[in-house]
Amino acid sequence: MTGKTRGADIVARALDGAGYRTVFTLSGNHIMPVFDAAVGTRLKLIHVRHEAAAVHMADAWARLTGDCGIALVTGGAGHTNAVAALCTAQAADAPLVLLSGHAGTNELGRGAFQELRQADMAEPVTKASWTASSIETLGHDIAKAVRIAKSGRPGPVHVSLPVDLLEGAITESASLVPEATAFAPQVCDLDPAAADAALDALAGASRPLILAGPMLCRGGGAELLRRLARATGVPALGMESPRGINDPRLGAFAEVLARADLILLLGKPHDFTIRFADPPFVDPHCRFVAIDPDPRLIARVAREKGERLVHGAVADAAPAAETLTKRASGVGRTTDWAGEVAEAIDYRPAAWATHASQSPAKVHPLELCRAVQPVLERNKDAVLVCDGGEIGQWPQAVLAPSRRVINGVSGSIGASIPFAIAARLAEPKAPVIAVMGDGTFGFHMAEFDTAVRCGLPFVAVVGNDATWNAEYQIQMRSYGRERTHGCELLPARYDQVAAALGGHGEYVTTAAGLEPALERAIASGKPACVNVMIERVPAPVIRRPA
């Protein structure tokens, strides 16, 4: 090869050649060379309205496709906006790469435009974070970032791209753009002896549980857990909610967790979501097995539980689950315990089936969910997005889509509109329904412009109680009704906001109006907002009668 090539062209060709062609981005000075380099490639730039939205979209793309998401933002304030969204992806085990423009290396320390210690800022919320240092290695920086993001416990990685490296030129060479294999993750299998030790521990327990982390809650992970449960006869549950043991999707799970005598943590951190496995939430004599790609998390269990950690092994969660399934002896035992756990997980109060609003011109969240349910039942590939402090928990409690994206263990809200846009890209045919609160809607409502501009229809079902309701409920519980304040919002017409941005809007104040409004929204073929005035109620906490 002869001639010269720019650093930006190397970046674009590396992404294109490895198949990472959907790039969620917001333009800015430092990355305009990459925008120019995308011309003539197969890269598809989804140009958003806020940098955090680009990261959230890359996050949802990763969760739904099982591959790495790519976000591209400019340096300085563009980077700082994007970094704030990384914690959501980090807690969800979502592999993505954030590429940020950066002040030129020849200007650092001289007061360069938007000069910041960007890699240091991103480090706490990423698996790895660095600044590219040469044109020659730019393509290999991209491959390394994707490889790290997908290896072990998946998660976000950041690389800053100095603008002088993007604009600079170098003699063309085939070695500048890495082979697709350079992007492949490193896999850590579970040692057969370690698998047998874990299975022996499960077999010796009377009331064992297998708890998996977010990486096994999506895609093929859920089916893998079902196969593991059948092979071992041990209930295997995925946990990805900030509500932890009170995740309404898990029904009365807290009751059976408290009785477990052995817990296998399969890529599941020992953390607040299981109340640190302390009494009374977990029996003080319960033993543990920890299988995790991160040895630090195994060490955490050892530090917290001492000799009650009977076995620990470093391995990736999905390969470990496959190995355990294959080495389990035949079909697992059928036990009363497995039935008890299933009954607890499936439990929902019978009154929920017919519960209706007691307030005029307001809908109860359960009525809202009952309107969404037929859409999911008719479309097996539909994607449900759930977000918001209180309203987002209701569809998680009563709806069971084949695919869903929730805000995740970080507990942050506001990502649902970007999530839904990315979901539409990942699923171009089936409906994408995003149930969210009015507080959530306000974070990224401008992304309706992105969805309209890019032709990406979805339906945002907004439970509008004119409140930051999660915080209002905290005030109610902690300080009393007379001290609730500062959490009020306007009963705004978010449907009109969507329509003003070129989408479709529906305004609903009765349960009877819900299904027709939802059907019209889907039929519009536009990004749509169904603005539903709802009762101000707390999220469900499921407890069976004593």
Spell out the SS3 assignment of 434-497. Answer: EEEEHHHHHHCCCHHHHHHHHCCCCEEEEEECCECHHHHHHHHHHHCHHHCCCCECCCCCHHHH
The reply to whether 205 falls in a domain is yes
The reply to whether 383 falls in a domain is yes
pLDDT band at 323 (very low <50, low <70, confident <90, very high): very high
- Say yes or no: 500 and 408 in one domain: yes
- The predicted model gives 262-272 an average pLDDT of 98
Could you identify the residue written with the tokens 């869903």? 404
Q: How far apart are CA 46 and CA 24, in angstroms?
A: 5
- Say yes or no: 241 and 119 in one domain: no
Which CATH number is 470's domain given?
3.40.50.970
- Say yes or no: 359 and 224 in one domain: no
- Say yes or no: 203 and 277 in one domain: yes
- Say yes or no: 161 and 16 in one domain: yes
Q: Label each residue of 145-165 as H, E or C.
A: HHHHHHCCCCCEEEEEEEHHH
- Say yes or no: 197 and 71 in one domain: no
- Pair 454, 373: CB distance under 8 Å: no
Q: What is the pLDDT of residues 416-474, one digit of tens each?
A: 999 999 999 999 999 999 999 999 999 999 999 999 999 999 999 999 999 999 999 99
Residue 255 identity (one-letter amino acid): E
For the cut 70, the answer to whether the pLDDT of residue 232 exceeds it is yes
Before 280, cis peptide (omega within 30)?
Answer: yes
The reply to whether 514 falls in a domain is yes
The reply to whether 69 falls in a domain is yes
- Say yes or no: 111 and 246 in one domain: no
Q: What is the pLDDT of residues 511-524, one digit of tens each?
A: 999 999 999 999 99
- Say yes or no: 336 and 357 in one domain: no
Residues 6+ apart with CB under 8 A from 40: none
Tell me the residue range of the domain where 65 lies: 4-183
Q: How far apart are CA 258 and CA 381, in angstroms?
A: 35
- The predicted model gives 361-367 an average pLDDT of 96
Q: What pLDDT is recorded for position 1?
A: 46
Count of domains for the chain = 3
- Say yes or no: 165 and 67 in one domain: yes
The reply to whether 331 falls in a domain is yes
For the cut 80, the answer to whether the pLDDT of residue 329 exceeds it is no
Q: What pLDDT is recorded for position 472?
A: 94
Could you identify the residue written with the tokens 């009525």? 367
Q: What is the pLDDT of residues 203-220, one digit of tens each?
A: 999 999 999 999 999 988
Q: What pLDDT is recorded for position 388?
A: 86
Q: What is the pTM of this model?
A: 0.96
pLDDT above 90 covers what percent of the chain? 95
What are the φ/ψ torsions at residue 447 (nearest 5 degrees)?
-70, -10
The reply to whether 545 falls in a domain is no
pLDDT band at 331 (very low <50, low <70, confident <90, very high): low
Which CATH number is 222's domain given?
3.40.50.1220
Domain boundary among 126, 157, 183: 183
Per mean pLDDT, which range of 78-87, 171-180, 261-270, 507-516 is the poorest? Answer: 171-180
Q: What pLDDT is recorded for position 372?
A: 97
The reply to whether 538 falls in a domain is no
- Our measurement of the distance from residue 497's CA atom to the centroid of its chain's CA atoms, rounded to an integer in Å, reads 26
Q: How many C-beta neighbours within 10 Å does residue 460 have?
A: 30
- Say yes or no: 218 and 111 in one domain: no
- Say yes or no: 177 and 64 in one domain: yes
- The predicted model gives 308-330 an average pLDDT of 95
- The predicted model gives 291-305 an average pLDDT of 97
pLDDT band at 2 (very low <50, low <70, confident <90, very high): low
- Pair 371, 381: CB distance under 8 Å: no
For the cut 90, the answer to whether the pLDDT of residue 248 exceeds it is yes
DSSP code, position 363: B
The reply to whether 101 falls in a domain is yes
Q: How far apart are CA 25 and CA 35, in angstroms?
A: 10
- The predicted model gives 228-252 an average pLDDT of 96
- The predicted model gives 345-369 an average pLDDT of 95
Domain boundary among 160, 183, 206: 183
Q: How far apart are CA 425 and CA 402, in angstroms?
A: 17
In terms of residues, how long is the chain? 546
Q: How far apart are CA 531 and CA 503, in angstroms?
A: 13
For the cut 90, the answer to whether the pLDDT of residue 546 exceeds it is no
Q: What pLDDT is recorded for position 3?
A: 87
The pair of structure tokens assigned to 250 is 């898990």
- Say yes or no: 293 and 210 in one domain: yes
Domain boundary among 346, 364, 398: 346
Q: What pLDDT is recorded for position 330?
A: 59
Average pLDDT along the chain: 96
Q: What pLDDT is recorded for position 123?
A: 98
